[in-house]
Chain A
Amino acid sequence: QVKLLQSGAALVKPGASVKMSCKASGYTFTDYWVSWVKQSHGKSLEWIGEIYPNSGATNFNEKFKGKATLTVDKSTSTAYMELSRLTSEDSAIYYCTDTTPFAYWGQGTLVTVSS
């Protein structure tokens, strides 16, 4: 069955960067887009961007251009998202998910930005 296993929670300082992972199993990783979604505490969901593992092609929500970098490692079926120049506004749970309309989700990675 399809599984998306995300890396653990991170506590990072303002101005720093964080890189999280999403390991896929149960399907052909290179055949489907992987998306990332942000959920701030108690709030709704925002689509950040997506990456096509086979080619590395990416699409982004304009709001997250320059903030998020998406990469993959095809050899381990793992997608990565790096967030840079972190502020308190970046504190949130980040989910990886599959191709829209997102039937499969990771368990989420909690990022806390605090000094």
Chain B
Amino acid sequence: GAGVSQTPSNKVTEKGKYVELRCDPISGHTALYWYRQSLGQGPEFLIYFQGTGAADDSGLPNDRFFAVRPEGSVSTLKIQRTERGDSAVYLCASSLLPGGEQFFGPGTRLTVL
């Protein structure tokens, strides 16, 4: 079966623009996580979905960041008014159940010029 996929693999945008990053989890996985990895750092938790609802969004850095998972499968991370500091690799992971083994996608490398 297919693993977690993320699109696009690379995204270059200009400061102030809006971007959307997509995550397709493993089919049947109920839990979905977003992380952000800056250069030289480990992944940093952003938000966790259980089904369609955001169960924990404590890692979102500010209100420019928003994520949805309307049908309990695909998720979109949305960033408004991008800033250069948003440049990072955005990783998505899914697990069959909350607390289960997380399978990561390859990430989307976002560059804000």
A in complex with B: no
